[in-house]
């Protein structure tokens, strides 16, 4: 008689086959089978590896369900379900619909939790952190800041707007994407815009607009490229405002043109979820020859203004002298005061005065009398 023997350790299990047909699930210990025609074969599995070949598990469950016992569990989620596998109390892996997985339960505590995605597609962020490594792409996490808003897309459709905070979603059998939108004001530069003025002068404009998102949902559903859309609107508004004005009018009415462009852009953005808080022309760049010509015009205007101011000052000074002369004619005492002021200024520059006595006895008193315009007969 021909026998076959096998010894299985505590962590091992065996599948006994006869002519490639499962006949038993072998437990640990020493075993002996009568096999005179060499029809038996034993497949041994290490249960410490947890994952069991799903093909064998499926054959045992379908053909010999009484052999399965509690040694392994077979996981096959239905449509719209997700299986969470916990190994010894810690997240191990997830099984989505369309996947068949078998796990040994001999050496470890294995828990299986089925999640209905139709009713619970959200997941607590703290639980998502625990399952992040095991779940992989089956979980989508997002952080929305204080001045931000989140847009949740499921299978390409916009589902809802997310408030600031942490968010997590199951994405096992669907496409889940979270777009984070910045609600803060941003500067948009529109540079090097060549525009032809009404008097056929080609100029280049640099504009700056301060934009912000007021309604993220309206922006997402109404505009495919919000920044590009605003950029084009500013271009068209600037060309329309400049094309109807001459160069002189453009340079003179910069503030009014800024307001006109801003009003035009705001009107076109009214229903798009975008807003422009301020829009201004930053630079007006002229061609080289036109810039030189304009500089000459400005220089001539400033020279004329300076000449006019100088003539006004000369006229005012002449008129003041005329008034002074008239007062001196009417009041001789004023002439004497002017003479004394002139004498005072003159003596300030004289370092020394020598007075000599004459033979007639005239000296310092006579000199003072002369300077004061007085004669002896005046003092009598």
Question: Are 112 and 160 found together in one domain?
Answer: no
> pLDDT digits over 209-264, tens only?
999 999 999 999 999 899 999 999 999 999 999 888 888 888 888 899 999 999 99
Instruction: Using the predicted structure, report yes or no on whether residue 297 has a pLDDT greater than 70.
Output: no
| Top-confidence range, 116-130, 151-165, 325-339 | 151-165
Position 365 in a domain: no
Q: How many domains does the chain have?
A: 4
Let me know how long the chain is. Answer: 380
190 and 176 part of one domain = no
Asked if 24 and 112 sit in the same domain, the reply is yes
Cα–Cα distance measured from residue 206 to residue 193, given in angstroms and rounded to the nearest whole number: 7
Could you tell me if residue 101 is inside a domain? yes
CA dihedral 256, 262, 263, 269 (to 10 degrees): 170
Would residue 373 count as lying in a domain? no
Is there a single domain that holds both residue 76 and residue 170?
no
Enter the pTM of the model: 0.65
Identify whether residues 247 and 217 lie together within a single domain: yes
Percent of the chain with pLDDT over 70: 86
127 in any annotated domain: no
Q: What is the CATH number of the domain that holds 193?
A: 3.30.479.30
Q: Are 63 and 33 in contact (CB under 8 A)?
A: no
Q: Residue 229 domain-assigned?
A: yes
- Residue 85: other Cβ atoms inside 10 A: 20
- Residues 178, 218: one domain? no
In a domain, 105, yes or no: yes
d(CA 354, CA 342): 20
178 shares its domain with 190: no
Claim to verify: residue 113 and residue 10 sit in the same structural domain: yes
If asked whether residues 28 and 81 sit together in one domain, one would say yes
- If asked whether residues 280 and 208 sit together in one domain, one would say yes
Q: Which strands, in side-by-side order, build the sheet including 81-87?
A: 90-96, 81-87, 110-116
- Domain-embedded: residue 356: no
Query: In degrees, to the nearest 5, what angle opens at C-alpha 168 toward C-alphas 164 and 170?
Result: 150
d(CA 208, CA 278): 8
Mean pLDDT computed over 35-58: 86
Give which of 227, 128, 113, 232 is closest to 176, Cα–Cα.
Answer: 128
pLDDT bucket at 352, cuts 50 / 70 / 90: low
Whether residue 26 contacts residue 14, with contact meaning beta carbons closer than 8 Å, is answered with yes
Region 169-198 average pLDDT: 90
The total of other beta-carbon atoms located within 10 Å of residue 348's CB is 8
Domain hosting residue 116, numbered range: 3-120
């Amino acid at each position: 008689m021909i026998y076959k023997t096998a010894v299985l350790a505590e962590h091992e299990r065996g599948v006994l086959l006869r002519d490639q047909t499962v006949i038993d699930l072998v437990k640990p210990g020493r075993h002996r089978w009568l096999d005179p025609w060499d029809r038996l074969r034993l497949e041994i599995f290490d249960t410490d590896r947890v994952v069991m070949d799903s093909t064998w598990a499926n054959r045992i469950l379908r053909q010999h369900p009484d052999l399965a016992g509690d040694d392994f569990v077979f996981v096959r989620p239905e449509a719209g379900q997700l299986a969470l596998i916990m190994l010894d109390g810690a997240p191990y892996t997830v099984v989505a619909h369309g996947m068949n997985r078998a796990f040994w339960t001999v050496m470890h505590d294995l828990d299986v939790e089925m999640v209905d995605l139709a009713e619970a597609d959200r997941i607590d962020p703290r639980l998502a952190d625990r399952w992040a490594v095991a779940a992989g792409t089956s979980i989508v996490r997002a952080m929305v800041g204080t001045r931000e808003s989140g847009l949740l897309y499921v299978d390409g459709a916009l589902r809802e707007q997310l408030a600031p905070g942490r968010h997590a979603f199951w994405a096992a059998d669907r496409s889940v994407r979270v777009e984070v939108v910045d609600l803060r004001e941003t500067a948009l530069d529109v540079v090097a815009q060549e525009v032809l003025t009404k008097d056929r002068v080609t100029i280049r404009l640099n504009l700056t607009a301060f934009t912000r998102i007021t309604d993220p949902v309206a922006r997402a559903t109404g505009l495919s490229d919000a920044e590009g859309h605003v950029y084009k609107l500013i271009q068209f508004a600037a060309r329309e405002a400049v094309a109807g004005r001459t160069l002189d009018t453009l340079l003179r009415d910069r503030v009014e043109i800024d307001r006109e462009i801003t009003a035009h852009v705001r009107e076109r953005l009214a229903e798009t979820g975008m807003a422009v808080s301020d829009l201004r022309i930053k630079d007006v760049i002229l061609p080289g020859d036109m810039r030189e010509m304009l500089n000459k015009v400005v220089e001539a205007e400033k020279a004329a203004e300076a000449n006019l101011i100088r003539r006004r000052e000369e006229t005012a000074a002449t008129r003041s002298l005329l008034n002074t002369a008239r007062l001196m004619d009417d009041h001789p005492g004023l002439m004497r005061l002017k003479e004394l002021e002139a004498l005072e200024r003159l003596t300030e520059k004289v370092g020394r005065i020598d007075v000599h006595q004459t033979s007639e006895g005239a000296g310092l008193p006579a000199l003072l009398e002369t300077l004061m315009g007085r004669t002896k007969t005046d003092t009598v």
